[in-house]
Each structure stands twice: as structure tokens, then as C-alpha cells.
Chains A and B, each alone.
Chain A
Amino acid sequence: MFRLVDIAPPLVWQVFRRNFTVYRRTWMVSMSFNFIEPLLYLAAMGIGLGGYVSSMEGMPYLNFLAPGLTVSSAMFAAAYECTYGSYVRMEYQKIYDAIIATPASAGDVVLGDMLWGSFKSLLYGSVILLVILVLGLVQSPWALLVPPVLWLAGLTFAAMSMAWIGLVPNIDSFNYYFSLIVTPLFLLSGIFFPLTGLAAPVLAIAWFSPLYHAVQVVRSLVNGNVSPALWGDVLWLAVATLVLVPLALRLMHKLLVK
């Protein structure tokens, strides 16, 4: 029988719950630090650069920029959580080992950690959404659909990051992950400027960026110009998640089960 990985949802939930228990103690601090960066970008780029750029794709620059920053905040949350966070739990704190000695499987632990990463994406992205709402940068009630999109994108990033651990299980390698993958995605996924003017090869590469698709959807929802074409981006994210999650589980299984 073809069985990809062995998963027991109640135990996946227990892994999630363990992380939540720890987080409850420190959420204030960690959340407020997480605020600062997107707000700095919003201030520096939005107000600074916005002074020179009168409009972008027919809207004030700040309105163009702000929705993308909710998504990048979500991406960074999952990327940090499912590289440094998960790796420390696995390698230094031996928490994975301890849990795998209970009825939980390696797959339960890794999936639980990825869901936790996606939850942090949802949380951190939504907080930025609230901030831009308060700043008057949310134009449409369609924005209510942003959190589920943040969650889905978060799961994609969590799986991508976890797969990286599986491939290069070494804490120093995460520097490369961030400078070679995460930061380029951040800069080239249409958050700061539209990609339409770029050369075809660059556009082709951007199409492979999960962040690009998530930004397209979230910006449209926040600004209220929704169209059926957005389903294409959502589908892209869903497919990417369905590919990356099992891949991450597979790679991590190889690492954990010896």
C-alpha cells in the first residue's frame, strides 16, 4: 500500500498545543518586535518614497505598499519559525525526540510544527492588517478574507522552510536560506513595485514565488478590486502547499528516523 507518511491528527494538535503553551508566555514581546519591521518599511518606503511616487497602478503608493507588507510579515513569521525555531526544538532542545517516544510519529511532530508556523503567519500578518486598517489603508470589506489567505501562504512558507531543514540540517545554512531565497522573494514579489515592467525572464521567475501570488490576492482584497483571476493565485498557493507539505514531511522523516 502506498503510504506517504503516518499522521494522527489529535497528536499533531498536541504538538501545536505545546508550542502555543510556550508562546503564551512570550507573545507580547515577540509580537511587538514583529510589528516594528513592517512599520519601518511602511514609514520609510511608504512615506519617504511615496513622496516622490505620486501613484502606483493607479493608487497612492501607501495603498499599494501596505497590503504586501501584511503578506511579507506572514512569510517572515513562518520562515523564522520553521527554520530557527523548529531546528532549535529538534537539535538543541531534543523536543522532537521526546515527543516521538510517545505515541506520536515523526510526521505528527513535523506537521504540528508546520501548522504552528502557519498559525504565526496568520497571527503576525493579521496584526499588520489591523494596523493598516487603523491607518485607513483598507478600502474594502473583502479584506475580511485576507486572514485565510495569510494562513494558506503561511503554510506554504512553513513547508518550504521545513523542507530546507530537511535538505540542509545545519543552523548556519539558514543564513543562506534567508539571503538566497527569502529576501529575494521579499524584494521581487511585487510588494514594493509592480512586476509588469520587468523583463520576461524575471517575470517568469516571479511566477514561481509563493509570495507573489499571495501579494496579488491580498492587495486586491484590501483594495476591493477583486476578480475571478485571483482564484488562479489561490489555486497556485494551494497546489504549492499540497506539494511542499508532503515533501517537507518526507525530508524530515529521513532526518529524524534513523
Chain B
Amino acid sequence: MHTEPVIEACDLVKQYKGITAVAGVDFQVCRGECFGLLGPNGAGKSSTVKMIYCFSPVTGGTIKVLGMDVREQPRQIKARLGVVAQENNLDPELTVMQNLLSYAGFYGIPPDAARQRAQELLNFFELADRAGQKVDTLSGGMKRKLTIARGLINNPDILILDEPTTGLDPQARHMVWQRLNNLRDRGVTLLLTTHYLDEAHQLCDRLVIMYGGKILEQGTPHELVAKHIGSEVVEVGRGSAEAGSIIGQVAQLIRGHLVVGDILYLYPVDGRELMRELGRLRLTRLSLRPGTLEDVFLKLTGKGLGEV
């Protein structure tokens, strides 16, 4: 099922007056999957998705969405996408319901059908009791849900979400994740950007890691962790000064290592065995934990996602 590509980006480049935001990326999104662009601030995630939803002209390379070229058929492409932009852009002068109906007009949905669809979406996002209220009266999480609902008004083939949960409290984030998982189960293709690893883990079937306008890696979260890290990581606090000697003594027990700041990260073949060995070396401040995308990112860039 996950084979037919609905988005194909080929050597995609975006420049703004001298700034290169996207420096030649290639990826494909398949029908029915949740595809993630994971990267820190300024990585070029928004620039990439804006080109996909025909908001921002392509500087170089090509993108095909649902088989159509973004340069040739922007209106036809946009008719079949749903977009949730990074900045909240609900219409503050309209009510919750009017926001959905006004948007429906731009997709040429007849008023009766629009009203019915809007009501379904409000039910799905648990906003039905707010239908008549102005948007300013909603909480941050409700606004985000309404923005997603609005993006679904035209029953899109693909829903594009630019940082769907940035700025939300943990509870609201979980609410949004749940709904997005739900949508994916119903067969909506999702393309999302995020700089949260847990979000990428929770939602994405496949993802690319973007950094400085380029794609560093792509695959499933599991594949990426397995390929670069293995299943476990041992952190040696204040281990950087003696890194050379520690590594020398446990060389057979690790698949790789990384020094960032004063922490030494070891990628063990067998975590417990390595812990025992490190214990014998009288090292304290040891911790053994599962490998994550954060470790992958750290290894690829030498920086944590939060510190770029």
C-alpha cells in the first residue's frame, strides 16, 4: 500500500535574496503514510513545505504533488491539499463555524455540504460546543485543532502540518497527536515538520532529518536509530576528558562513540556488559538508556536539536 508517491521532490532549492534556505533536497512521500521533516530552527522545513503547497515559488529543482508540477498547476494542487501553517492564521473576526464555512467557499464547496462537513469536523475535534464563538475565546490547543479542522474542510488527499504542536502544553499536544494518528488510520496522507523528537517518534512512519537546508538522513525512526546508534546508549557524564583511554579499554564492547560537551556517548553492543566493564573502571555518572532520534541527530550534526 505504501508505494505510490504523492509528493516527489527532486533536487529542490529555495533561495531568498541571497539566503539559501533549502540546498537541494530529494524525497518522496507515499500515499497513506505520515512523513516527517525533522530539523532544528532554520533548517529549511517551512521553506520546503511552502513550496509543496505552492505558497512559495521554487528556486530550483522540481516538486510534483499528486503527479502535478507545482509550477504548472498550483490551483489544482492546492485544491487537493490541506494546510496547517506554522503561524496560527485563523480568521479572528469570524466565529469558529464561520472560519470553516468561509474556507469551504475557497474550495467551491456548496453551502449545504460545507455546513455538514464543518459540523462533522467540529465533532471530530470536540469543538462543536464552540461553533458560535469568536476564535479569540479559544485556548491555544483548541485553536490548533480548529486550524487542523479547517485544513480538512476539502477532504484533502494530503494534509500538510508545519510544526503542529509547537507552543502547546503537553496535554494539548497529546490531544493533537491522537487526532493526527486517527486521521492517518483513516488513510489521510500526512506531511509534518517538527523539531520535537517525541513527536516524530509518535507520528512518523518515515522521516528525513534536515539541517542547514540539506537532508542528512532518511528512513523509519527505527531504521535510523538502528543504523547510527543501535538499540542502546550509555552516557558517561564528565567522560570527555578521559574519552581516549575509556574508549581504548572498551573498544570491543562498543559500535561507536561521540563526545559532545563534557559528555561521552557510547553505543554498546550489549549495554549491560558495557555498564559492568565501565563500573570496573570506577567510572561514576553512568546511564544506560534506549537509543533515540536525538542520538541520531547528535551524531549526525554534533549538536542537540535544542541547541542549534
What residues of chain A lie closer than 8 Å to B83, measured between beta carbons?
Answer: 101
Tell me, yes or no, whether B183 is within 8 Å of chain A by CB.
Answer: no
By the criterion CB–CB under 8 Å, are B105 and A14 in contact? yes
By the criterion CB–CB under 8 Å, are B78 and A102 in contact? yes
By the criterion CB–CB under 8 Å, are B105 and A17 in contact? yes
Tell me, yes or no, whether A156 is within 8 Å of chain B by CB.
Answer: no
B124 CB to closest chain A CB (Å) equals: 20
Q: In the complex, which residues 1-55 of chain A have their Cβ closer than 8 Å to any Cβ of chain B? A: 8, 10-11, 14, 17-18, 21-22
A102 CB to closest chain B CB (Å) equals: 4
B201 CB to closest chain A CB (Å) equals: 28
Which of the candidate stretches B27-35, B92-100, B226-234, B274-282 sits at the interface with the other chain?
Answer: B92-100
Residue of B nearest to A92 (CB): B92
By the criterion CB–CB under 8 Å, are A11 and B89 in contact? no
Tell me, yes or no, whether A97 is within 8 Å of chain B by CB.
Answer: yes
Contact of A21 among B55, B56, B102 (CB under 8 A): B102
Contact of A93 among B55, B92, B108 (CB under 8 A): B92
- B interface, size bucket: 20 to 34
By the criterion CB–CB under 8 Å, are B85 and A103 in contact? no
Contact flags B56-69 to A (C-beta < 8 A → 1, else 0): 11000000000000
- A interface, size bucket: 20 to 34
By the criterion CB–CB under 8 Å, are A102 and B106 in contact? yes
**C-alpha gap A97/B98 in the complex (Å):** 17
Residue of A nearest to B80 (CB): A103
By the criterion CB–CB under 8 Å, are A18 and B102 in contact? yes
**C-alpha gap A258/B79 in the complex (Å):** 21
A112 CB to closest chain B CB (Å) equals: 11
Residue of A nearest to B81 (CB): A101
What residues of chain A lie closer than 8 Å to B255, measured between beta carbons?
Answer: none
**C-alpha gap A21/B78 in the complex (Å):** 24
Given A17-B105, A21-B102, A100 contacting B94 (CB threshold 8 A): no
B152 CB to closest chain A CB (Å) equals: 13
What residues of chain B lie closer than 8 Å to A10, measured between beta carbons?
Answer: 108
Given A98-B89, A98-B90, A257-B57, A21 contacting B106 (CB threshold 8 A): no
Contact flags A90-107 to B (C-beta < 8 A → 1, else 0): 000111011111111100
Given A21-B94, A102-B107, A257 contacting B85 (CB threshold 8 A): no
What residues of chain B lie closer than 8 Å to A22, measured between beta carbons?
Answer: 93-94
By the criterion CB–CB under 8 Å, are B74 and A94 in contact? no
Contact of B87 among A17, A18, A94, A258 (CB under 8 A): A94
Residue of B nearest to A11 (CB): B106
Contact flags B170-181 to A (C-beta < 8 A → 1, else 0): 000000000000
A196 CB to closest chain B CB (Å) equals: 46
By the criterion CB–CB under 8 Å, are B78 and A103 in contact? yes
Interface secondary structure of A, over-half rule: helix
Tell me, yes or no, whether B196 is within 8 Å of chain A by CB.
Answer: no
By the criterion CB–CB under 8 Å, are A95 and B53 in contact? no
**C-alpha gap A93/B75 in the complex (Å):** 23
Contact of A97 among B89, B106, B108 (CB under 8 A): B89
Name the residue in B56, B76, B102 with the highest tally of chain A Cβ atoms < 10 Å from its Cβ.
B102
By the criterion CB–CB under 8 Å, are B94 and A105 in contact? no
Q: In the complex, which residues 72-128 of chain B have their Cβ closer than 8 Å to any Cβ of chain A? A: 74-76, 78-79, 81, 83, 85, 87-94, 98, 102-103, 105-108
Contact of A94 among B57, B78, B89, B94 (CB under 8 A): B89
Q: In the complex, which residues 66-117 of chain A have their Cβ closer than 8 Å to any Cβ of chain B? A: 93-95, 97-105
By the criterion CB–CB under 8 Å, are A98 and B57 in contact? no
Residue of B nearest to A106 (CB): B55
What residues of chain A lie closer than 8 Å to B90, measured between beta carbons?
Answer: 98
B30 CB to closest chain A CB (Å) equals: 23
Residue of A nearest to B47 (CB): A258
What residues of chain B lie closer than 8 Å to A17, measured between beta carbons?
Answer: 102, 105
A68 CB to closest chain B CB (Å) equals: 33
**C-alpha gap A258/B17 in the complex (Å):** 9
What residues of chain A lie closer than 8 Å to B81, measured between beta carbons?
Answer: 101
**C-alpha gap A14/B153 in the complex (Å):** 15
What residues of chain A lie closer than 8 Å to B92, measured between beta carbons?
Answer: 93
By the criterion CB–CB under 8 Å, are B91 and A101 in contact? no
Given A93-B93, A95-B89, A101 contacting B53 (CB threshold 8 A): yes
What residues of chain A lie closer than 8 Å to B55, measured between beta carbons?
Answer: 97, 100-101
What residues of chain B lie closer than 8 Å to A95, measured between beta carbons?
Answer: 89, 91
A-B contact pairs, 11 of them (CB 8 A): A14-B105, A21-B102, A94-B89, A97-B55, A97-B89, A98-B90, A98-B91, A100-B55, A101-B55, A103-B78, A103-B108
Further 10 A-B residue pairs, CB within 8 A, beyond A100-B55, A101-B55, A102-B106: A10-B108, A18-B105, A97-B89, A98-B91, A99-B106, A101-B53, A101-B85, A102-B107, A104-B106, A258-B56
Residues of B within 8 A of A (CB): 16, 53, 55-57, 74-76, 78-79, 81, 83, 85, 87-94, 98, 102-103, 105-108
Name the 5 nearest CB pairs between A and B, nearest first: A94-B89, A102-B106, A98-B89, A101-B83, A14-B105
Residues of A within 8 A of B (CB): 8, 10-11, 14, 17-18, 21-22, 93-95, 97-105, 257-258
